[in-house]
């Protein structure tokens, strides 16, 4: 009686007998091909050594400027220890999820007319300073700052005289002359 129309299957649905109409299948195949291409590109990038590294030996690459080695199989960075004749792994610093901010300040009072003997240095953005000086600091975690305290600096005249200006009486006799303590330095990165 005309119950069977062309295009209707036994179960009363249109199409090729599948549950899908066919339209989303082409999207799935395109996505699959795109994912496969992305995986291939990632594998090619992973197989290539980092920028600036050249082949040293089988599976090992070296950056001649920084003298850092990279192993292709482990994808880790190493330094060569000449004394131990072995490679030491460079551990990557854990990145901070939250921003860490440390502000510092210092002040120093001196008598008028007296030279300053203590010095301090504050570099708030060490990465920016290193970039300006063309000095690589890739081994330091970012952000980085430098705070250095120097004490024991003597004026140029005293340094040239070997500390004789500090010990007036004993310098003339030569006996019991005390040498000035060596300058000290402390740096905090």
Per-residue pLDDT of the chain (189 residues; tens, 9 = 90+): 555 455 455 555 555 555 656 556 777 788 888 999 988 887 766 667 888 888 888 888 899 888 889 888 888 889 888 888 888 888 877 665 666 666 666 666 666 676 666 677 788 888 888 888 888 887 777 888 887 776 655 555 554 454 444 444 444 444 544 555 555 555 555
Give the separation between CA 137 and CA 172, rounded to whole angstroms. 49
What per-residue confidence (pLDDT) applies to 174?
46
Q: Note the maximum CA span of the chain.
A: 135
Cβ 106 vs Cβ 122: under 8 Å: yes
Question: Any idea where the domains of the chain sit in the sequence?
Answer: 119-188
Give the separation between CA 32 and CA 121, rounded to whole angstroms. 57
């Amino acid at each position: 009686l005309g119950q069977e129309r062309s295009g209707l299957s036994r179960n009363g649905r249109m199409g090729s007998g599948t549950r899908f109409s066919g339209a989303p299948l082409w999207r799935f195949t395109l996505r699959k091909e795109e994912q496969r291409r992305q995986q291939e590109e990632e594998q090619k990038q992973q197989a290539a050594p980092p920028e600036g590294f050249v082949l040293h030996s089988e599976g090992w690459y070296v950056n001649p400027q920084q003298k850092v080695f990279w192993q292709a199989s482990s994808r880790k960075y190493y330094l060569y220890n000449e004394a131990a004749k072995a490679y030491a792994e460079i551990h990557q610093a854990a990145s901070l999820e939250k921003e860490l901010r440390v502000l510092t300040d210092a002040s120093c009072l001196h008598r008028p007319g007296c030279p300053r003997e203590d010095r301090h240095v504050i570099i708030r953005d060490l990465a920016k300073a290193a970039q300006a000086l063309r000095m690589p600091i890739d081994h330091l975690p970012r952000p980085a700052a430098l705070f250095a305290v120097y004490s024991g600096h003597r004026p140029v005249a005293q340094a040239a005289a070997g500390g004789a200006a500090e010990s007036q009486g004993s310098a003339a006799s030569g006996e019991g002359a005390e040498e000035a303590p060596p300058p000290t330095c402390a740096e905090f990165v």
